[in-house]
Amino acid sequence: MVQFDYITEETKQRLCSLLQSFVTPERYAKFLEVLKNRTRHLTIVLEDIYQPHNASAVLRSCDCFGIQDVHIIENRNKYEINPDVALGSSKWLNLFRYSDPGENTVSCLELLKQRGYRLVATTPQKNGLTPDTLPLEQKTALLFGTELAGLTQAALDLADDFINIPMVGFTESLNISVSAAIFLQNLSHRLRISSIPWQLNRAEQDEIIITWLLKSINKSEVIVQEFLKNETERKSVE
């Protein structure tokens, strides 16, 4: 992996141009097309999801609807991905794992709050917001709890608001992968047709596209090493 904190914006762009030459123009065009639809304005937090097919289906929905970041809290359950369901989607997302021994819910959620996210807990309760009424002006993190017990009290206590999908049947609950997809489809659609600046900035786009290129190129670490060596030499000559 490239440590983006240690290289300048200009170096990033030179690295990107170099890596671009290792993939087909069609591939690179696909990257740009997907990238321009990616957002961090909306993100999701999965608290202790334990069924791999659910976890994987959620990642696939994130990719499909342009959600770049997924925050994964592992308190008791290790988050595992089922490749048949995820279809490789996790490769194109930024997964942030919170898996210190003990409870990680508070540290994850407080970090998101510091970064300006409004925390919205998804719950079956009917007195909250709905995918239609959730205000989207502020950056928003949707919180999902475990399959059986839902979100922990710690997560509910830190939530700024609650959201549910209105239902009218006997079975008033949906599988987590289905409910996540409904939220993401609705909210990302509302975001895209709004005037809210939901797109990634240039620096974010550069970092992501470099990461995608590195994952698509054989022996990319050798190319990067060579590039960084040349950069250092170039700088010492200057």
Binding stretches for a second copy (CB under 8 A): 30, 34, 37-38, 57, 60-66, 85, 87-89, 92, 132, 165-175, 177-178, 181-182, 185-186, 189
On whether the CB atoms of residues 160 and 119 are closer than 8 A, the answer is yes
Q: CB neighbours of 73 closer than 8 A, spacing ≥ 6?
A: 45, 46, 47, 48, 98, 99, 104, 105, 108
CA distance 79 to 100: 13
Min dist CB 167 to a second copy, Å, is 4
Q: Which is nearer to a second copy, 35 or 143 (CB)?
A: 35
Min dist CB 189 to a second copy, Å, is 7
Q: Which is nearer to a second copy, 66 or 150 (CB)?
A: 66
Min dist CB 148 to a second copy, Å, is 12
Q: Which is nearer to a second copy, 98 or 198 (CB)?
A: 198
Min dist CB 82 to a second copy, Å, is 11
On whether the CB atoms of residues 106 and 79 are closer than 8 A, the answer is no
Beta bridge partners of 199: 39
On whether the CB atoms of residues 49 and 78 are closer than 8 A, the answer is no
Q: Which is nearer to a second copy, 12 or 38 (CB)?
A: 38
Q: How many CB atoms lie within 10 A of CB 186?
A: 16
